[in-house]
Structure 1
Amino acid sequence: MKLYKLDGSPPARSAMMVVEALGLTVDAVDCDLLKGENTSPEYMKKNPVHTIPLLEDGDLTIHDSHVIVTYLVDKYAKDDSLYPKDIKKRAQVDQKLYFDATILFPRLRAVTYPMIAEGLTKPTEKMLSQIEEAYSMLDAFLSGSKWLAGDSMTVADICAVGSATGLNHIVPLDAAKYPNVAAWLNTMKQQPFVKSKNEPGDTFLGQWIASKLTSS
């Protein structure tokens, strides 16, 4: 398998974490958005949406991180703990995957993309309030369980952690206000694959965001 990725990208890190969690081997290929490598003719032919990550497994190409991680578990995992086959349990996981896809990560991208494309140096009040709202939703989801979707860790947790740690660089998480999120993040950060595949890229992303933001 070949995985096109960028360490600073939370979606790419989701795929990287699941690859490691499953003990798989992939040919990892860096694709630098800051250099426009994702809009090269060769890459655009593979993925007209020109996003990362991108997985190639034989004759199959997948360009969405949430589909990549569920595909990898369905095809290669020894059990279904990360993505349950039970239809009700899977629905709970899918809900939280879509939450990451439609709320968490887009609210991070709403800030970082204008930094790249438009030279944004200060998030608007609306951007900041939407991040606070996302924290509130995440905290509510975690109010009845230490995990996002059920009684054990799933791909929903793995996909969401990269987005959540990224948002923290823009609006630092108030642990007193969002205790469930703080506890969940602490638990996730102890996972070996989070330490090895999320932490370095998240550190880079944080440094990059800090270099772009102004205090005025």
Structure 2
Amino acid sequence: MAKTATAKKPVAKAAKPGAKPAVKAAAKPAAKAAKPAAKVSAKKPSAKAKAKSAKKPGLSLSMLKPSVNNMTVRVFARAAGLDHSETDVWGHTRSPEYMARNPAHLTPMIEDKGLPRGVLWESCAIMQYLANKHGLEKFYPKAPAKRAMIDSAMFYLIGTLYPYVARATYPALNFPQYAGEVGHSDAHPDKKSEAQKTAAAAIAEPLEVFHSFFRDGKPFIGGKNPSIADIRLAATLEFLAVIDYELPNWAKEYMAAMEKKLGKAYAEPAGDVRGYIAYVKSQANA
């Protein structure tokens, strides 16, 4: 046992001097090397995390370019900075695949995982949903009184103004039906023409309501910034160019202000509507 003990001690003594420098030498370079690596690896995930948090969820939008209803959502999605894709479904809205998702065969239509049925149509409902989901109070205020005025303006538009605009413009746009047309496209041409003229004459009254009541001296219905009701109204007024409707000066200035305020977000979708209107007018004059 004594021999074993004496054998261990020299080895231990020899090991201690050698072990300490080896540990220190290995630890210091390793620590130094680890610090830069830690910094690099820490920066990359944080940058990706920031990018992911800043990027809004993807959104799929099925639309028709010549339509002001579709223009409404296209403008809103751009103005709100929503990450979205657009699919032109011209000629496909009655396909079995589309009807399976949207039995009303309407556009615009969005697809979103958070929706009970996965899809949503009607332009005003889409804007309300997206504004609520993403907290876009700039376009759709949460304060009950302010929100009520936005809702009132939109409901008045789709219930009163838009039926007149549709009846006055759809025949000129070669759209298959318009609000109030008897039997859709089966109505006699004379009846269509009469209804079209009557509707065009009726537009002035509800249009003035938007000016005197909903705007009430403000740049927009939403105040200093356009609301979802403003986007819907401006898009609706775009259609009136097809019948050369003479807008009052305030409406012309209003539309110009909308385009200036929203920039490309408004101009690009509006360009598709204007292009289609120019096309149908050229065909009518040919």
Q: TM-score range by the shorter chain?
A: 0.7 to 0.9
| Residue 188 of structure 2 is aligned to residue 116 of structure 1 | no
- How far has the Cα of 1:27 moved from its partner? 2.2
| Residue 249 of structure 2 is aligned to residue 179 of structure 1 | yes
- CA 1:27–1:151 in structure 2 vs 1: closer, same or farther (change >3 Å)? closer
RMSD between aligned alpha carbons? 2.5
- CA 1:63–1:168 in structure 2 vs 1: closer, same or farther (change >3 Å)? same
- CA 1:100–1:211 in structure 2 vs 1: closer, same or farther (change >3 Å)? farther
Question: If the length of structure 1 is used for normalisation, what is the TM-score?
Answer: 0.83
Q: Helix, strand or coil: the match of 2:93?
A: helix
- How far has the Cα of 1:47 moved from its partner? 1.7
Query: 1:47 corresponds to which residue?
Result: 102
- Which letter does structure 2 place at the counterpart of 1:131? I
Query: 1:8 corresponds to which residue?
Result: 66
Structure 2: state its 5+ residue gaps: 1-58, 177-184
- How far has the Cα of 1:99 moved from its partner? 2.2
- Which letter does structure 1 place at the counterpart of 2:175? I
Higher gyration radius (CA): 2
CA distance in 1, matches of 2:77, 2:243: 28
Question: Contact between 1:112 and 1:209, CA under 8 Å: does it hold in 2?
Answer: no
Q: Helix, strand or coil: the match of 1:4?
A: strand
- CA 1:195–1:172 in structure 2 vs 1: closer, same or farther (change >3 Å)? same
CA distance in 2, matches of 1:171, 1:149: 28
Aligned residue among 272, 281, 285 for 1:201? 272
CA distance in 2, matches of 1:48, 1:180: 40
- Aligned positions, number: 207
Q: Helix, strand or coil: the match of 2:110?
A: strand
| Residue 172 of structure 2 is aligned to residue 94 of structure 1 | no
Q: Helix, strand or coil: the match of 2:226?
A: coil
Question: Contact between 1:8 and 1:202, CA under 8 Å: does it hold in 2?
Answer: yes
Query: 1:155 corresponds to which residue?
Result: 228
Question: If the length of structure 2 is used for normalisation, what is the TM-score?
Answer: 0.65
| Residue 137 of structure 2 is aligned to residue 80 of structure 1 | yes
Indicate the larger mover: 159-168 or 131-140. Answer: 131-140
- CA 1:6–1:38 in structure 2 vs 1: closer, same or farther (change >3 Å)? same
Q: Helix, strand or coil: the match of 2:98?
A: helix
CA offsets, 1:35-84, max 9 Å, x none? Answer: 3x21222222222222110011115211111011111111124x411100
Query: 2:205 corresponds to which residue?
Result: 133
Question: RCO (CA 8 Å, sep 6+): is it higher in 1 or 2?
Answer: 1
- CA 1:55–1:109 in structure 2 vs 1: closer, same or farther (change >3 Å)? same
Q: Helix, strand or coil: the match of 1:116?
A: coil
Structure 1: state its 5+ residue gaps: none
Moved over 6 A (4+): none
- How far has the Cα of 1:163 moved from its partner? 0.4
- Which letter does structure 2 place at the counterpart of 1:183? E
Question: Contact between 2:238 and 2:274, CA under 8 Å: does it hold in 1?
Answer: no
